[in-house]
Chain A
Amino acid sequence: MNIAAWFAKNTRAVIALVVVVAVLAVFGKSIPIWSGCTAALDRCADIVAIGVFQGMIVALVALGYTLVYGILQLINFANGSVFMLGSVGALFGVEIFGLTKDTPATTVILAFAVILPVTMLLTAGLNAGIERVAYRPLRRAPTLATLISAIGMDFILQNVGQVLIGPSPVSLPSLLPTTNIITEPFVIKVSHVFVTAITVPLLIGLMWFVQATRQGKAMRATAQDREAAGLMGIDVNRTISLTFLLAGALAGGAGVIVALYNGSAWWQYGFSYGLLAFTAAVFGGIGNLLGAAVGGIFLGVLISLNAFYVDPRWQDVVVFGILVVVLVFRPTGLFAAKQSERA
C-alpha cells in the first residue's frame, strides 16, 4: 500500500497524531523540540542506536503480553511484575556470587551463564503458577473478571518485589565495562553488545519455536480456536501452561538484562516497563509476534529520541498517547496481523 493511500485510509489517526504533536510543540519551554532537534542532529544515529538496544528489551516483555493475549485474549497485567522479579533475581544472583565492579570479565560472564537461566526458569515457573492459581479457575468467567484477577496478581507481585528489595531503587555494581568498542563519533558499548547477544537469540528462538515445532503448532491452533484444538487432541491446559512458561521466561530474561543494563532494580520497574511493553504489543497488533518485536524496537527508539530531544519526563505521556491513539483509531495495530501469523 502506498503512503498516500495509507494516509487517506487513516485520516483520523493522522489528524490525531498531528494534534498531539502540535500540542506538545506549543507547551513551550518544557519541550524545547525545535531548538533541540537542530542542535543535536549529528547525535541522531547514536540516539537511534541506543533506542534500538532499549527496544530489544521492551520487545522481550512485549512478546510475553502478545503470546498470552493471543492464546487467552487476556491482558496479563502481572507480566510486568514477573519482569521486575527477574531483575530482582539478577540482584540476588550478584549478591550470591559476590560480584563487584572489580570482578574479572570472565567470572562475570560465567556467573551470568548461571544467573540468567536460573532466573528465567524461576520466572517461567512463577508465570505458569500465576496462570494455574489466578486465571485457570476463571477460564469460563467473563474476560474482565480474569483481567481484574490479573491486576490483583500484579499488585501481589509488586508487593513481593517491594518486600524483597525495599521501597527504593537498589543499585548493582557496574559489571559491564563502559568502553566504546567502535570508533568515535559513534558509540556502541559492551553493554549494548551484551543486550544484543542475549535478546536476539531469544527472539529468534521464540519465533522458531512457535513456527517450526510441534508444540508451537499446538499453541497456534489453541490461539485460533481453543475448542477445536481440544477436539483435535491437543492438551489445551498444557499448551496454555507452556505459553505462560515461555512468556515468564522471556520476562525474567528481560528483567536480568535490564538490571545489568540500567545498573539497578526497583519494584516500580514492573509498571513502567510493563506498560511500555504492552503499548509495543498493541502497536504491533496484539497477538502478532513479529509485530510485538518491531513495536518494541520502535518504542525504544521513540523514548530514546524523546529523552534526548524533548524531556524524559514526558515519556509516559508520549507512550500512553500512542497507546490511546492506536487503540482508539486502529485497535488491530499498525501491522494488522494475518490470521495465520497469530500465536
Chain B
Amino acid sequence: MTAMTAAGGGPIARFRGTLADRNGQFRIVLVLIFVTILYGATYNDLRQGALRGLFEALPLPSVNVLIVMFYYAILALGLNIVVGFAGLLDLGYVAFYVFGAYTTAFLASPLHDIHIPWWFVVIAAVGVAALAGVLLGAPTLRLRGDYLAIVTLGFGEIMPVLARNLDDLDLSFIGGPEHFNLTGGNIGVNPIDPPILPIPGPWGDSLVFSNGNPVASLYLILGILLLVFVVCVRLRDSRLGRAWMAIREDETAAASMGIDTVSTKLLAFGLGASFSGFTGAFFGAYSTAIFPESFNFAVSISILIMIILGGMGSLRGVVLGAFMIRYVNDSLLPYLGRFVDDPIQSFGAVMPEIPILKERVEAFTLTSYNYLLYGLILVVMMIKRPEGLLPVAARKAELHGEGVAAEATFGTSVEVAEAATEFEAKAGHLKIHETSADDAPGTDDAPGTGGRA
C-alpha cells in the first residue's frame, strides 16, 4: 500500500516504490512516459499529416505546451518542498527562478561574452539559487507564517526590478567601466546559448535542445522531471523529510525532539530554491531569451495554485496540479476561445450602445480570464477541498491520527481531516476545519484549539 512496503524488495521494486505508491500507479507512470515519448516522436508527422483534422478538432497540447507543463511541474515540486513539506508559505518563489535564469544568461550569452556549455552552467545556476534561498531564508525564517509570506513576496517583487534596473552601473570606483550593463535591463537577454550535445545524427552535427528543436527538449525535460520526482520521493521518505513534516505539524514539539529547526527550514528553502534555479536555467536556455516581465507575482501564485489544487505535500498531486493548470492555461483556454470569442465579439458589435460595456464585449477573449480561474481555484479549494485533488491520505492518517494538534500550519487540519475519515474510531472528536458559514464566534486559530479533545 505504501511506498515503504514497496521499497522493501529488490532494486526494481524499490524503483517502483519510488515512482508510485501502488503497482497500478507504477503502470500508469510507465504508460505516461511511453505516451509522452511516442507523442513527441510522432507529433510533427501527425500534426502535419494523417491526423491533421484530429489535432485541429481536439484540444491536444502541442510539444511546446508539454514542455511548459513539465518544467512547471518541476517548479511546483520545488515549491512543494517549502510549502508542502516544511509548511512555510513562500509567495516569492519566482525570485529563485530569476536567479537561475539570470545565472544562465550571465554565463552563456553574448551579454558578457561568456559562453560556458549549459551542462556546467546549470550546476552554477542550481548553486546560486540554492545559496540565494539560504541567504534570503536566514533572516526571515523566524517570522510568523503570514509575515514570512509577505517578506518572501517582497523578495519576489524586488528581484525582477533589480533585473530591470541594473543595466547601467557605475563601477568606476573599483576601476571598472562607468556604464556597466549587468542584466540587460528592460529588453532582457537575447540570445542565450541553448544546451548542445555534440552528437552527430539525423538532426545534424550536434543535438540542440532549444525551442527550435522542441522534441529533443521535451525528452530532456521529461528526463529531468523524472529525476526530480525521484529525488523528491527520496527526500520525503528521508530523515530530513520527516523532520520537515514534524516542523510543519508542530515546530515546538519538533524542536524538543532534537530537530534543529533553523537548519532544517533553511535546507527546505535552499533545496526548494535549487529546483527553481534548475528550471530557470532550463527556461532561459530553452527559450534562448529572458525578459524581466516573465518573472512576476502571478508566476509565484500560479505555482502555489498548482500545489493547492493537487494537494500540498502530495508529489503526485503537485505534478497533476501543474499539468492541469498549464494545460488549461496554454491549450484548453485558447482552444475554447476559438469557439467562444467570435460569437461574443460579434454580439458585442450588434448590441445596444452601452458605454464601456459594449467596447469590452467587442474585445472579449477567453484567455484573458485566466486570473479569474486562478482566483476561483484558490478560494474554492480552500473552502471546499483544502486537501487538494490527490491528497496524501493513508500514511498521514497513521502518523497524525494520534491526536496531534490540528493547528501549527496549514495543511495540518487537512491531514487530520483525512485521519478522521480513515480512522474514525481512533481519531475521536477532532475539531476540524468547519465549513459551516454561520459559525458561533470562535477562537479560530488559537494554538491547540483544533486538537483532539
Closest to A321 in B: B158
- The interface bits of chain B over 411-453 (1 if a CB of A lies within 8 angstroms of the residue's CB, else 0) are 0110000000000000000010111111111111100001000
Establish whether residues B356 and A95, one from each chain, have CB atoms under 8 Å apart when the complex forms: yes
Cβ contacts under 8 Å, A142 to chain B: 407-410, 412-413, 445
In contact, A167 and B377 (Cβ under 8 angstroms): no
Out of B169, B297, B359, B408, which one reaches A30, CB within 8 Å? Answer: B169
| B308 close to chain A: CB less than 8 A | yes
Which of A74, A138, A144, A323 sits near B409, CB closer than 8 Å? A144
In contact, B410 and A313 (Cβ under 8 angstroms): no
Q: Given A142-B413, A162-B371, A164-B360, check contact A323 B154 (CB 8 Å).
A: yes
Q: Are B360 and A163 interface neighbours, CB within 8 A?
A: yes
Least CB distance, B199 to chain A, in whole angstroms: 44
Shortest beta-carbon distance from B138 to chain A in Å? 10
Most buried by A among B161, B172, B435: B161
Q: Shortest Cβ distance from A185 into chain B, in angstroms? A: 32
Q: Which one of B144, B149, B378 has the greatest number of beta carbons of chain A within 10 Å? A: B378
Nearest Cβ on chain A to B300's Cβ, whole angstroms = 10
B220 within 8 A of A: no
Cβ of B342 < 8 Å from any Cβ of A? no
Partner of B435, one of A137, A158, A159, A160: A137
Kindly identify, within residues 246 to 299 of chain A, every residue whose CB is under 8 Å from any CB belonging to chain B: 271, 275, 278, 282
Flag whether B175 is at the interface (Cβ < 8 A): no
Interface residues on A, range: 35 or more
- Nearest chain B residue, comparing its CB with the CB of A132: B437
B10 close to chain A: CB less than 8 A: no
- Determine which residue in B140, B168, B356, B445 has the highest number of CB atoms from chain A within 10 A of its CB, and name it: B445
Asked whether any CB of chain A lies closer than 8 Å to the CB of B179, the reply is yes
Determine whether the beta carbon of B150 is less than 8 Å from that of A148: no
Determine whether the beta carbon of B154 is less than 8 Å from that of A313.
no
Flag if B375 contacts A164 (CB, 8 Å): no
Contacts of A72 in B (CB 8 A): 444
A36 interface hit (Cβ, 8 Å): no
**A191 CB within 8 Å of chain B:** no
For residue A74, which residue of chain B has the nearest CB?
B146
The digit string for A104-126, where 1 denotes a CB below 8 A from any CB of B, is 00000000000000000000000
Whether B433 contacts A140 by the Cβ 8 Å rule is yes
List chain B residues, Cβ under 8 A from A237.
438, 441
Is the C-beta of A141 less than 8 angstroms from some C-beta in chain B? yes
B386 within 8 A of A: yes
B410 and A145 within 8 A (CB) = yes
Contacts of B413 in A (CB 8 A): 141-142, 145
Stretch at the interface among A42-50, A55-63, A222-230: A222-230
Q: How far is B412's CA from A167's CA once the two chains are assembled, in angstroms?
A: 39
B402 at the A interface (CB under 8 A): no
- Given the known interface contacts A92-B356, A147-B89, A152-B376, the answer about A327 and B383 at a Cβ–Cβ threshold of 8 Å is no
Closest to A222 in B: B441
Q: Which residues of A contact B359 (CB under 8 A)?
A: 166
How far apart are the CA atoms of A187 and B161 in the complex, in Å?
32
The docked-state distance in angstroms from the alpha carbon of A320 to that of B150 is 10
**A134 contact set on B, CB distance < 8 A:** 379, 382-383
Q: Is A151 an interface residue, CB under 8 A from the partner?
A: yes
Give CA–CA (A165, B89) in the complex, Å.
32
Contact of A227 among B178, B371, B375, B443 (CB under 8 A): B443
> Is A331 located at the chain interface by the 8 A CB criterion?
yes
Q: Mark A302-343, 1 if CB is under 8 A from B, else 0.
A: 000000000101101100110110011001000000000000
Contact at B360–A27, with CB atoms within 8 Å?
A: no
Whether B376 lies near A29 (C-beta < 8 A) is no
Q: Which residues of chain B (129-158) have a CB below 8 Å from chain A? A: 139-140, 143-147, 149-151, 153-155, 157-158
The smallest beta-carbon distance between B87 and chain A, in angstroms, is 8
Quick check: is A174 within 8 A (CB to CB) of the other chain?
A: no
Complex contacts, B437 vs chain A, CB 8 Å:
132, 136-137
A133 to B379, CA, bound (A): 9
A–B complex contacts, Cβ < 8 Å, 17 sampled: A29-B169, A75-B150, A91-B356, A134-B383, A137-B383, A138-B382, A142-B408, A143-B146, A151-B91, A151-B378, A155-B301, A155-B372, A164-B356, A230-B440, A271-B297, A282-B150, A321-B158
A residues adjacent to B (C-beta < 8 A): 26-30, 72-75, 91-92, 95-96, 132-134, 136-149, 151-160, 162-167, 226-227, 229-230, 236-237, 271, 275, 278, 282, 311, 313-314, 316-317, 320-321, 323-324, 327-328, 331
Give chain B's interface residues, CB within 8 Å of chain A.
89, 91, 139-140, 143-147, 149-151, 153-155, 157-158, 161-162, 164-173, 178-179, 297, 301, 304, 308, 355-356, 359-360, 363, 368-372, 374-379, 382-383, 386, 407-410, 412-413, 431, 433-445, 450
